[in-house]
Structure 1
Amino acid sequence: MTGDIGAAAPSLIRASLSRTGKWAGSVAFVSGAVSDVLNPLGPFAAYIALVAAIAAAIIAIAIVLRLVLATKAMPALIFATSAAAIAGGVYAVQQETNSQNGIIAGLVPAVAELQQSLGIVSEKVAKIEKTVTETQKTVEEVKKSTDTVAQKTEEIAAAEKQQTEQGAETQKTVEAVKQSTDTVAQKTEEIASAQKQQTEQGTQTQKAVEAVKQTTDTLAAGQQQAAAQAEKLQATTEQIAASIDTIAKGFAALAAQGGAIADPKRPDEYYHNARVYELSGDMLNARRSYLAFANFDVDAVDPYTRFATLLRVQDGKAGAREVFGQLADKAKAPAIKLVHLEQFDDAQRLDKLNAFIAAHPDYAPAYFLLAQEFSEDRLGSQSLSDKRSEAEALTKFVSYEKEGGLLKYFVDQTQLADWLERSRSRLVAVGDVLDPQRFAPTLTPMRSNAGWTITISLPEAATGISWRLGENGPFTDTGLMAMNDQRTGKPMPNPSFELPDSTAATTIGIKYLDIRGRETGPFDIRFDPDSALQQGDKQILDQFWTSWIAFDSGGNHGLVYFTQMLSYRCAIKDVHYGLDGAAPDKEIKMPPCDKKDPYAIPYDYQPYFKVADSVKSMSVQVTYTDGTKSPVREYKRQ
């Protein structure tokens, strides 16, 4: 069968050449010419030759294997073979002559001009691609600008709550920005589509780029306008926060006018409305007005203290603390932070207040609030330390009144007047509590034949007392008595302790615990036994002077006894007397003071002297060891 095909092949080939050879050769020649002309764009002759050769091989194999009829496949084989031969020849000649523009272009100038036109198209395509790339970059810049505009839009939205009129302009800017953003998105899609189009769409892409650029300019202008609006709002807010005097005057004028403001815009109008609503019992609108006032971040104390009072009544202290916590987080005004910490409890509140004062040492209202932490109204009963802390804080607060140093913290001057009045009244009530000598403990030594009894006098109620000799060493607790102190409700500490009669001059340290268990002291008090003995005896003599002289005591008619003066003679320098109205010019000789046994009367000394029965009275004057003299005392004989 194979032999049959081989025998018939020449005749079949001749027949096919006669039928298809002419047009197949013509088509192959035209293809070779076209590929030669298009050579600047790529080696199309080589591509055609390779493809035609492969096709011829496949057709030949199919004919041999009888996969197709030879009569039907032979024309295709002849066409593929002709195309491969002609295109391969063209490519070979191009390589041989090193003709980059093709053989025909070298021979025919018109073809060269056509290739140049094709080159211009290529340049245009490259330019379009470059333009698209630049457009993409512009789109990315537009996106960044859009993100910035979005951020500014949020700031403007927040500012609209503060300035309604300015907010309307800002809203227009935001809408323009949004419209421009939509335009950018639409143009971006057009640009992406333009990348897939042919040369003629390059012109449209360029127009789109110009439109995008115009949109970007619009966005930039909108962004600048938005920034200007934000800066203007910020400047307005700072100006409002700084002009407390203006707000105070506006509030005073509105208060005189009465009634709520229908469309409030300024902080003084919101504060006025809050007070009006509060007085009328409309707590919801009062609360809203206070919150609107707080948004202006005005550094004035009284609006926030009133707002806090309203919140505590409605929501309790925890609710007020929560609301002011949110305000304090975003506020710059110290007044809001000060009122926020006032919503905490006891020790925590005091710690936060001290921290605030450390951070703002010249913030005057803080000192008034600090004084309240130690006041009798807050504590119920005050220790001396509490009174001193209260007085120190109030003194500091009142000191800022000079030259109007307090006015800048108050919108409502009536509250400032109330704070000042309360401060002055309390300072008068606590008196000279800040004088350290005025309220220091004192000691009263009392000598007996057994030794010294030291009695302690404290300036306030105490829950414990301790003492020591000298400036160093441990303290000894005096112990407790079997009775309660009504001032503290606790057992009363023993106010005295004993010392031996041999105690030399030294320092006695005293400290005590106040009603809140806080240690006060130590106070170092000088103890001189000689001076203490004289002062103690003098005190007794002055207190019991009616017992200095006794006529006819114990039935001993005609005798005058001076036993008491003799017993406390350690305080006496000399004693003079006179009879029946005469000047006290006669002296009673006293034995010397025996410091080891000061109250004993010497066994050989007579504590009396004799007078005539006619004597009816006696005058006596004592000169003490400290140089002072007693009044002339008169004693009648019964």
Structure 2
Amino acid sequence: QQTEQGAETQKAVEAVKQSTDTVAQKAEEIASAQKQQTEQGAETQKAVEAVKQTTDTLAAGQQQAAAQAEKLQATTEQIAASIDTIAKGFAALAAQGGAIADPKRPDEYYHNARVYELSGDMLNARRSYLAFANFDVDAIDPYTRFATLLRVQDGKAGAREVFGQLADKAKASAIKLVHLEQFDDAQRLDKLNTFIAAHPDYAPAYFLLAQEFSEDRLGSQSLSDKRSEAEALTKFVSYEKDGGLLKYFVDQRELADWLERSRSRLAAVGDVLDPQRFAPTLTPMRSNAGWTITISLPEAATGISWRLGETGPFTDTGLMAMNDQRTGKPMPNSSFELPDSTTATTIGIKYLDIRGRETGPFAIRFDPDSALQQGDKQILDQFWTSWIAFDAGGNNGLVYFTQMLSYRCAIKEVHYGLDGAAPDKEIKMPPCDKKDPYAIPYDYQPYFKVADSVKSMSVQVTYTDGTKSPVREYKRQ
């Protein structure tokens, strides 16, 4: 029995021990979980603090960037405002003469560059120009002069390289503008147009654009070139109002030169901006077979084409078997034919200028009735000495008026007088035959008889357009 009781006691002790171990294990697990939660809370707090710190840093960075932008804007405005001061300083130094021994200001460096350049010291001139460029002054004339010096020394490629380096770090539009001026021909023009699109109110760009179409640059100008030059120069000069160009120049003498050249060229090209002033004209000439239309163009052309009406394809007039000395190319045929049945319509004309650029089309009204009358009138006025012929072909006593009769489609009335009398007698003309305008009716006599004593005749024609010719005098031989 004692043995059984001892066994039971042992079992009880082991059960208590197992329960105690379980409780201890649970306590450890709970403590571990609590510790893990505490650690996670600490990490979360650190993350929150890091986010807050990052947010504060970003906010501070934005404030700093805004402050820098404001400072840059203020600096830019200060530089722009200081151009007037620089210009005044340069003018004073120019009057003083001589190089500045220890230059510090941009006007002093520009003054020295000019002094060294005039004396032939190109190395120091170049150094002074570069020093001026480091101030990033947005004035055009120092950089155009510097570019000229570089092209003389290093060629256009060298000037392009130097200004490319300056333009990469500069903010001044003038530096970027002069840089693109160092490219060749079509590439330069494309870059200049791109610059103007981005800076439409940067006045000096229009003067440089005009040079692209100038006679000096091209050698010979088409009408389109002259118009482009005039448009750009007109735009440039328009900024002169209220001193709008002063802010682009350090040396006011350079501005005066640009303006003088602009006005001189505008006077030379005349009214090229008036599109009607230089439209083609047509001279119709009627024959018994139909119409010959002669085209007069305002400039040399390398090709001409035409069409009847407002729509449809154009017909090329073809080329003649000779070269035009103005273009060095075959001369285009300047006329074409139309049938006599052509009714009133519009004739379209277009042509290729000396650079192969298409001009037109121009719509020109063609009225065959009016054209016939105007053509006949022109011939009558030009050859008025042939209106009257006394005793023609040995037919003594007869006065012939065959020439007036042939061009009668332009005539409303003809009056004449004999031996100084007023022209109050009428020569009756047959009606105009538009289908066969120059034929004389077979039953009409183109003459009348006068006495042998008649010594002279006066004639006046009233045209179909209502105008009258002068009174013409014809003496009998």
**TM-score, length-scaled by structure 2:** 0.85
**3-state SS in 2 of match to 1:483:** strand
1:585 positional shift: 0.3
- Does 1:622 pair with 2:467? no
**3-state SS in 2 of match to 1:243:** helix
Structure 1 pair 231–276 and aligned structure 2 pair: CA distance change class (3 A): farther
Q: Distance in 1 between matches of 2:12 and 2:219?
A: 60
Kindly indicate whether the alpha-carbon contact (under 8 Å) linking 2:302 and 2:329 is maintained by their aligned counterparts in 1.
yes
User: What residue is the counterpart of 2:102 in the other structure?
Assistant: 263
Q: Distance in 2 between matches of 1:264 and 1:537?
A: 80
Q: Distance in 1 between matches of 2:17 and 2:173?
A: 38
Structure 1 pair 245–577 and aligned structure 2 pair: CA distance change class (3 A): same
1:308 positional shift: 0.3
**3-state SS in 2 of match to 1:573:** strand
Task: Provide, for residues 50-100 of structure 1, a one-character-per-residue CA deviation record: whole Å limited to 9, x for no partner.
Answer: xxxxxxxxxxxxxxxxxxxxxxxxxxxxxxxxxxxxxxxxxxxxxxxxxxx
1:354 maps to which of 193, 196, 218: 193
Kindly indicate whether the alpha-carbon contact (under 8 Å) linking 2:94 and 2:111 is maintained by their aligned counterparts in 1.
yes
Structure 1 pair 548–403 and aligned structure 2 pair: CA distance change class (3 A): same
Kindly indicate whether the alpha-carbon contact (under 8 Å) linking 1:442 and 1:458 is maintained by their aligned counterparts in 2.
yes
Task: Provide, for residues 192-234 of structure 1, a one-character-per-residue CA deviation record: whole Å limited to 9, x for no partner.
Answer: 9999999999999999999999999999999999999999899
Q: Distance in 2 between matches of 1:260 and 1:484?
A: 58
Kindly indicate whether the alpha-carbon contact (under 8 Å) linking 1:507 and 1:527 is maintained by their aligned counterparts in 2.
yes
User: What residue is the counterpart of 1:220 in the other structure?
Assistant: 59
Q: CA RMSD in A?
A: 18.1
The structure number with the bigger radius of gyration is: 1
- Does 1:315 pair with 2:149? no
1:242 positional shift: 2.9
- Does 1:302 pair with 2:141? yes
Kindly indicate whether the alpha-carbon contact (under 8 Å) linking 1:177 and 1:222 is maintained by their aligned counterparts in 2.
no
Kindly indicate whether the alpha-carbon contact (under 8 Å) linking 1:453 and 1:499 is maintained by their aligned counterparts in 2.
yes
**TM-score, length-scaled by structure 1:** 0.64
1:597 positional shift: 0.2
User: What residue is the counterpart of 1:367 in the other structure?
Assistant: 206
1:119-268 equivalences in 2 (<5 Å): 239-268=78-107
Structure 1 pair 292–169 and aligned structure 2 pair: CA distance change class (3 A): farther
**3-state SS in 1 of match to 2:231:** helix
> Structure 1 residues 459-468 or 175-184, which shifts more?
175-184
User: What residue is the counterpart of 2:321 in the other structure?
Assistant: 482
1:238 positional shift: 5.1
Structure 1 pair 351–190 and aligned structure 2 pair: CA distance change class (3 A): farther
Structure 1 pair 358–223 and aligned structure 2 pair: CA distance change class (3 A): closer
- Does 1:293 pair with 2:132? yes
Q: Distance in 2 between matches of 1:612 and 1:163?
A: 194
Q: Distance in 2 between matches of 1:227 and 1:164?
A: 94
Q: Distance in 2 between matches of 1:386 and 1:324?
A: 28
> Structure 1 residues 186-195 or 445-454, which shifts more?
186-195
> Greater helix share, 1 or 2?
1
Kindly indicate whether the alpha-carbon contact (under 8 Å) linking 2:207 and 2:232 is maintained by their aligned counterparts in 1.
yes
Structure 1: give runs of 5+ residues left out of the alignment.
Answer: 1-161
Structure 1 pair 163–224 and aligned structure 2 pair: CA distance change class (3 A): farther
1:243 positional shift: 1.6
**3-state SS in 2 of match to 1:195:** helix
1:282 positional shift: 1.2
Kindly indicate whether the alpha-carbon contact (under 8 Å) linking 2:80 and 2:247 is maintained by their aligned counterparts in 1.
no
Kindly indicate whether the alpha-carbon contact (under 8 Å) linking 2:416 and 2:459 is maintained by their aligned counterparts in 1.
yes
Count of aligned pairs between the two proteins: 477
Structure 2: give runs of 5+ residues left out of the alignment.
Answer: none
The higher relative CO (CA closer than 8 Å, separation ≥ 6) is in 2
Kindly indicate whether the alpha-carbon contact (under 8 Å) linking 2:390 and 2:398 is maintained by their aligned counterparts in 1.
yes
Kindly indicate whether the alpha-carbon contact (under 8 Å) linking 1:467 and 1:508 is maintained by their aligned counterparts in 2.
yes
Structure 1 pair 169–524 and aligned structure 2 pair: CA distance change class (3 A): farther
Structure 1 pair 191–306 and aligned structure 2 pair: CA distance change class (3 A): farther
Structure 1 pair 181–316 and aligned structure 2 pair: CA distance change class (3 A): farther
> Structure 1 residues 395-404 or 164-173, which shifts more?
164-173
1:241 positional shift: 3.9
> Greater strand share, 1 or 2?
2
Kindly indicate whether the alpha-carbon contact (under 8 Å) linking 2:414 and 2:428 is maintained by their aligned counterparts in 1.
yes
1:285 positional shift: 1.1
Q: Distance in 2 between matches of 1:604 and 1:540?
A: 25
Kindly indicate whether the alpha-carbon contact (under 8 Å) linking 1:558 and 1:611 is maintained by their aligned counterparts in 2.
yes
**3-state SS in 1 of match to 2:321:** strand
Question: Percent identity of the aligned residues?
Answer: 96
User: What residue is the counterpart of 1:409 in the other structure?
Assistant: 248
Q: Distance in 2 between matches of 1:346 and 1:235?
A: 38
Task: Provide, for residues 166-186 of structure 1, a one-character-per-residue CA deviation record: whole Å limited to 9, x for no partner.
Answer: 999999999999999999999
Structure 1 pair 211–285 and aligned structure 2 pair: CA distance change class (3 A): farther
Structure 1 pair 540–228 and aligned structure 2 pair: CA distance change class (3 A): closer
